[in-house]
Amino acid sequence: MTSPLHTTTGDRRAAFEAGLDRHRREIHVHCYRMLGSFDEADDAVQEAYLRAWSARATLREELGLRAWLYRIATNVCLDALRRDRRRRVASLDHSFREVPWLQPYPDRLLDELAPAADEPDAVVVARETIELAFLAMIQLLAPRQRAVLLVRDVLGFSAVETATLLEMSVPSVTSALQRARATIAALPARERPAAAASSRERELLAKFIDAHERGDHAASLAIARRDIRITMPPNPLFFEGHADMAGLLERAFGTRDGGQPGMGEWRLLATGANRMPAAASYLRAPGDTVFRPFKLDVLRVEGDLVAETTTFNAAMFDAFGLPETL
């Protein structure tokens, strides 16, 4: 048996990381909220854990392991935001077109953080602060205001705890939080999301999938609001209304009279992203023998209709646990 005196650096590092591992998913979600990108959150968490190992001697009992790790991760994100000038967002007048780095977060990974069934308020907060609209809105905030808003209003730390965590004074925290809340409050209101995917959302997702697989233009338009918005991060594209949507449908399905062929045959799988209904689309192009990953549509539902579709590419199918082909 190896003596503790002869424990290797690798063994000590493994033991330290094991102690932090239970916080890894929540730290990843925090970095995702800060950065708006799943991939960049991966990088931030890796950097945060490297810094945590290097700075392990600075862990103070009064701060606690969880808060100490949040401090390190937040600083990693702030450093990343300072380096990246592309994140200067002036407005969201055209939905997510101004946030090309925005990526979806798989519900199957968020489920690792799902609060207990006896905490309904926490469930509502979790969805409200992970939906794409919220992620896009907080990109309007200055980085430190964003950090304060997330630590105070999302994570629930007190003003004193937040000041300690972010190495700010309490008055500075209060002022930053007031400015952040004022910026968010000034944005156009959206319908408050439900605590969990409603039966109506699931029904609309099923209709979306069915219409897409059948190449049915009319059925696709019937479940969409007249002023539906469609964006395709990272492409700076913006479409609005049935006329724009009809053009996209003709490209995907072919013209209604059969004069212009579509892209091929479609198969879709239901999934979830950011606590919103989503569909993973696979395309079998003419001459191909299998259905290959093509896109991921995330739907925002208002009332009984789809109000917005955010279409991502297939780069994150693996993170969603989706098959390589169908």
CA distance 280 to 295: 6
Cβ within 8 Å of residue 32, ≥6 positions away:
38, 41, 105, 135
Report CA 216 to chain centroid distance, whole Å: 30
Q: How confident is the model at residue 2 (pLDDT cuts 50, 70, 90)?
A: very low
CA distance 126 to 113: 9
Up-side HSE of residue 196: CA atoms within 13 Å toward CB?
A: 11
Assigned token pair, 193: 């999301």
Q: What are the extents of the domains in the chain? A: 4-185, 199-316
Q: What percent of the chain has pLDDT over 70?
A: 83
Strand partners, 233: none
pLDDT score for 4: 46
Q: pLDDT tens digits, residue range 215-242? A: 999 999 999 999 999 999 999 899 999 9
Q: Sorting pLDDT into bands at 50, 70 and 90, what band is 77?
A: very high
Using an 8 Å Cβ cutoff, are 306 and 201 in contact?
Answer: no
Rg (CA), the chain: 22
User: Rounded CA gap, 216 and 198, in Å?
Assistant: 24
Strands 265-273 and 224-232, by their bridges, are unpaired
Q: Strand (E) positions, 162-263?
A: 224-232, 235-240
Summary mean pLDDT of the chain: 87
SS (H, E, C) 176-203: HHHHHHHHHHCCCCCCCCCCCCCHHHHH
Span 199-316 CATH architecture: Roll (3.10)
Nearest to 201 by CA among 108, 104, 276, 109: 276
Distance CA 132, CA 152 (A): 20
Cα 200 to Cα 191: distance, rounded to the nearest angstrom: 15
List phi, psi (to 5°) of 199.
Answer: -65, -35
For residues 135 and 123, give the distance between their C-alpha atoms in angstroms, rounded to a whole number.
17
Question: Six-digit token pair at 60?
Answer: 């103070």
Decide: 215 and 266 in contact? Cβ < 8 Å. yes
pTM of the model: 0.88
Summarised one tens digit per residue, pLDDT across range 147-171 is 999 999 999 999 999 999 999 999 9
